A = this chain, B = another copy of it.
Protein backbone atom coordinates (compact mmCIF):
# COMPACT_ATOMS: atom_id res chain seq x y z
CA UNK A 1 0.00 0.00 0.00
CA UNK A 2 1.31 3.41 -0.96
CA UNK A 3 0.87 5.18 2.37
CA UNK A 4 2.88 2.49 4.14
CA UNK A 5 5.83 3.10 1.88
CA UNK A 6 5.57 6.87 2.06
CA UNK A 7 5.78 6.51 5.83
CA UNK A 8 8.70 4.17 5.35
CA UNK A 9 10.50 6.79 3.27
CA UNK A 10 9.83 9.56 5.77
CA UNK A 11 10.97 7.49 8.73
CA UNK A 12 14.14 6.55 6.91
CA UNK A 13 14.96 10.07 5.80
CA UNK A 14 14.14 11.70 9.14
CA UNK A 15 16.80 9.85 11.08
CA UNK A 16 14.83 10.43 14.26
CA UNK A 17 11.33 9.80 15.60
CA UNK A 18 8.55 11.52 13.64
CA UNK A 19 5.29 12.43 15.35
CA UNK A 20 2.25 10.42 14.31
CA UNK A 21 0.39 13.71 14.03
CA UNK A 22 2.91 15.04 11.57
CA UNK A 23 2.54 11.96 9.43
CA UNK A 24 -1.21 12.19 9.54
CA UNK A 25 -1.06 15.86 8.46
CA UNK A 26 1.38 15.28 5.66
CA UNK A 27 -0.46 12.26 4.31
CA UNK A 28 -3.87 13.71 4.91
CA UNK A 29 -5.09 10.60 6.71
CA UNK A 30 -6.21 10.00 10.29
CA UNK A 31 -3.78 9.20 13.10
CA UNK A 32 -5.40 5.78 13.28
CA UNK A 33 -4.62 5.18 9.63
CA UNK A 34 -1.00 6.02 10.37
CA UNK A 35 -0.98 3.57 13.23
CA UNK A 36 -2.45 0.87 11.05
CA UNK A 37 0.28 1.52 8.51
CA UNK A 38 2.79 1.26 11.31
CA UNK A 39 1.50 -2.14 12.38
CA UNK A 40 1.41 -3.39 8.80
CA UNK A 41 4.99 -2.25 8.23
CA UNK A 42 6.17 -3.72 11.50
CA UNK A 43 4.48 -6.99 10.73
CA UNK A 44 6.09 -7.32 7.33
CA UNK A 45 9.52 -6.34 8.69
CA UNK A 46 9.40 -8.76 11.58
CA UNK A 47 7.85 -11.70 9.80
CA UNK A 48 10.39 -11.49 7.01
CA UNK A 49 13.41 -10.97 9.26
CA UNK A 50 14.11 -7.72 7.51
CA UNK A 51 17.15 -5.62 8.34
CA UNK A 52 14.99 -2.72 9.42
CA UNK A 53 12.22 -2.37 11.96
CA UNK A 54 9.90 0.37 13.20
CA UNK A 55 9.03 1.28 16.78
CA UNK A 56 6.51 3.55 18.41
CA UNK A 57 7.89 5.91 21.04
CA UNK A 58 5.87 8.57 22.78
CA UNK A 59 3.38 9.23 19.95
CA UNK A 60 6.14 9.11 17.39
CA UNK A 61 7.38 6.50 14.97
CA UNK A 62 11.01 5.70 14.34
CA UNK A 63 12.92 3.35 12.11
CA UNK A 64 15.66 1.23 13.60
CA UNK A 65 17.74 -1.79 12.74
CA UNK A 66 16.78 -5.36 13.53
CA UNK A 67 18.45 -6.45 16.77
CA UNK A 68 19.18 -9.83 15.26
CA UNK A 69 21.83 -8.37 13.04
CA UNK A 70 23.52 -6.26 15.72
CA UNK A 71 26.76 -8.23 15.62
CA UNK A 72 27.13 -7.71 11.87
CA UNK A 73 26.33 -4.03 12.13
CA UNK A 74 28.85 -3.50 14.89
CA UNK A 75 31.51 -5.29 12.92
CA UNK A 76 30.80 -3.45 9.69
CA UNK A 77 30.71 -0.04 11.32
CA UNK A 78 33.62 -0.74 13.62
CA UNK A 79 31.51 0.04 16.64
CA UNK A 80 32.80 -0.98 19.99
CA UNK A 81 29.75 -0.82 22.15
CA UNK A 82 29.65 -2.03 25.66
CA UNK A 83 26.33 -3.72 25.56
CA UNK A 84 25.47 -4.37 29.13
CA UNK A 85 24.76 -1.84 31.77
CA UNK A 86 26.00 -2.82 35.20
CA UNK A 87 23.52 -4.05 37.78
CA UNK A 88 24.10 -0.80 39.65
CA UNK A 89 23.31 1.30 36.58
CA UNK A 90 20.14 -0.68 35.88
CA UNK A 91 18.97 -0.26 39.47
CA UNK A 92 19.60 3.46 39.42
CA UNK A 93 17.86 3.71 36.06
CA UNK A 94 14.81 1.88 37.43
CA UNK A 95 14.63 4.19 40.41
CA UNK A 96 14.84 7.25 38.19
CA UNK A 97 12.26 5.87 35.76
CA UNK A 98 9.62 5.53 38.49
CA UNK A 99 10.46 8.61 40.51
CA UNK A 100 11.46 11.25 38.03
CA UNK A 101 12.57 13.87 38.46
CA UNK A 102 14.68 12.74 41.41
CA UNK A 103 17.92 13.85 43.05
CA UNK A 104 20.99 11.72 43.57
CA UNK A 105 20.54 11.83 47.32
CA UNK A 106 17.05 10.41 47.05
CA UNK A 107 18.23 7.63 44.76
CA UNK A 108 20.92 6.79 47.26
CA UNK A 109 18.38 6.67 50.06
CA UNK A 110 16.46 3.99 48.21
CA UNK A 111 19.51 1.99 47.21
CA UNK A 112 21.37 2.45 50.46
CA UNK A 113 24.58 3.08 48.60
CA UNK A 114 26.37 5.77 46.60
CA UNK A 115 25.56 5.90 42.93
CA UNK A 116 27.55 8.71 41.38
CA UNK A 117 29.35 6.37 39.01
CA UNK A 118 26.15 4.75 37.80
CA UNK A 119 24.61 8.17 37.20
CA UNK A 120 27.60 9.25 35.13
CA UNK A 121 27.37 6.09 33.04
CA UNK A 122 23.67 6.66 32.44
CA UNK A 123 24.33 10.27 31.45
CA UNK A 124 27.04 9.12 29.10
CA UNK A 125 24.69 6.62 27.48
CA UNK A 126 22.13 9.42 27.24
CA UNK A 127 19.60 7.24 29.06
CA UNK A 128 19.02 9.94 31.69
CA UNK A 129 19.39 13.70 31.65
CA UNK A 130 19.66 16.54 34.09
CA UNK A 131 16.25 18.06 34.39
CA UNK A 132 16.37 21.20 36.44
CA UNK A 133 17.25 21.66 40.08
CA UNK A 134 15.48 21.40 43.38
CA UNK A 135 14.07 24.76 44.34
CA UNK A 136 15.61 24.66 47.81
CA UNK A 137 18.98 25.29 49.43
CA UNK A 138 21.66 23.16 47.83
CA UNK A 139 19.75 23.26 44.56
CA UNK A 140 20.44 19.58 43.92
CA UNK A 141 20.28 18.39 40.32
CA UNK A 142 17.16 16.49 39.31
CA UNK A 143 17.41 13.56 36.93
CA UNK A 144 14.87 12.24 34.44
CA UNK A 145 14.92 9.56 31.78
CA UNK A 146 15.35 10.50 28.11
CA UNK A 147 13.67 9.48 24.88
CA UNK A 148 16.64 7.23 24.30
CA UNK A 149 15.66 5.35 27.43
CA UNK A 150 12.31 4.55 25.81
CA UNK A 151 14.00 3.76 22.53
CA UNK A 152 16.45 1.31 23.98
CA UNK A 153 14.17 -0.36 26.48
CA UNK A 154 11.38 -1.07 24.08
CA UNK A 155 8.89 1.19 25.82
CA UNK A 156 6.30 3.09 23.78
CA UNK A 157 6.00 5.54 26.69
CA UNK A 158 6.73 5.87 30.40
CA UNK A 159 3.20 4.71 31.05
CA UNK A 160 4.24 1.34 29.72
CA UNK A 161 6.66 0.68 32.55
CA UNK A 162 5.50 -2.34 34.54
CA UNK A 163 3.43 -1.21 37.55
CA UNK A 164 5.75 -1.01 40.51
CA UNK A 165 3.39 -2.36 43.12
CA UNK A 166 2.82 -5.63 41.33
CA UNK A 167 6.42 -6.65 41.01
CA UNK A 168 6.88 -8.48 44.29
Contacts and interface: CB of A to CB of B under 8 A. Distances in A.
Interface of A: 2, 4-16, 18-19, 22-23, 25-27, 48-52, 63, 65-66, 68-69, 72-73, 75-77, 79-81, 86, 112-114, 116, 123-126
Main secondary structure of the interface of A (DSSP, over half): helix
A95 to B, nearest CB: 14
A127 to B, nearest CB: 11
Nearest to A66: B9
Contacts of A63: 12
29 contacts: A5-B50, A5-B66, A8-B50, A8-B51, A9-B50, A9-B52, A9-B65, A9-B69, A9-B73, A10-B51, A10-B65, A10-B69, A10-B73, A12-B12, A13-B77, A14-B80, A15-B15, A16-B86, A18-B77, A19-B80, A22-B79, A22-B80, A23-B76, A25-B79, A26-B75, A26-B76, A52-B52, A79-B114, A112-B125
